[in-house]
Structure 1
Amino acid sequence: MYLIKQVLTEYDNLSRQSSHDRSETCLVFDETHDHYLWLTVDWQGSKRLKDTHVHIRLKNEKIYIEEDWTEEGIATELIRLGVPTSDIVLAFQPPDVRQFTEFAIA
């Protein structure tokens, strides 16, 4: 859990430093239900925009990456920090495709 929060916070900090747009980034850490999100909220005229960049949840003692729109990938960052690939599920991949990755199936 700590590593997930660390990685998402680093991404958020980098985004805030390099971003020239007015979009607001948000970190959501729901430790009760084990969901971790990094998202952007903004307005385009009278339309509300919400983009989820990363959604991670903990399930069955594994890290499920539900959504990841980062360039290098959250899984890559977690591996660099010592998380084994057997503890990471690329949940944004269909279940029948996961067997062809180096990561956990579920």
Structure 2
Amino acid sequence: MATPVLILQQTIIQVLQDFLEFLGPDPDADAYLAIDKDNHHYLLIETGWQNDRRIYGTLIHIDIIGEKVWIQHDGTETGIANELTDLDIPKDQIVLAYKSPERRKITDFAVS
């Protein structure tokens, strides 16, 4: 049987891969996943050039801390937390880390 952290890890990777596939190819930028399974860091990063302007940014950054999913950055329109809950990660296991602890208290998600 898979451990809770392994289940979280698999679900996060699935969501990131689905989002990467949704983005599709872009002639000006490359999007890729940076995954550190040992330290539980999961990022979707975009790099490239458009005209003479550099494209670089983290679209999504998620960490597993303890047995909770900490969303450090969410650059999606729909909210990556919603994608995780759709895949049966309970809201009380998801921390919207990009919000202040005070703001987290008024969400349906975990405070910490």
Structure 2 residue 68 is the aligned partner of structure 1 residue 41: no
In the alignment, which residue of structure 1 is the partner of 2:32?
26
Unaligned runs of 5+ in 1: none
**Equivalents in 1 of 2:19, 2:67: separation in Å?**
24
Write out per-residue CA displacement over residues 42-101 of structure 1, whole angstroms, 9 at most, x where no aligned residue.
1253x6431111000000210000000111111000101111000000000011111111
In the alignment, which residue of structure 1 is the partner of 2:6?
none
SS at the partner of 1:3? helix
Unaligned runs of 5+ in 2: 1-8
In the alignment, which residue of structure 2 is the partner of 1:105?
111
Q: 1:26 offset after TM fit, Å? A: 1.1
1:76 is matched by which residue type in structure 2? N
**Equivalents in 2 of 1:12, 1:98: separation in Å?**
27
TM-score for the superposition, normalised by structure 1: 0.90
Structure 2 residue 97 is the aligned partner of structure 1 residue 91: yes
SS at the partner of 2:34? strand
Q: 1:16 offset after TM fit, Å? A: 1.4
Structure 2 residue 32 is the aligned partner of structure 1 residue 16: no
Identical columns (%): 36
Q: 1:2 offset after TM fit, Å? A: 0.3
In the alignment, which residue of structure 2 is the partner of 1:4?
12
Structure 2 residue 65 is the aligned partner of structure 1 residue 64: no
Q: Provide the aligned C-alpha RMSD in A.
A: 1.4
**Equivalents in 1 of 2:55, 2:12: separation in Å?**
25
**Equivalents in 2 of 1:74, 1:87: separation in Å?**
14
TM-score for the superposition, normalised by structure 2: 0.86
2:61 is matched by which residue type in structure 1? H
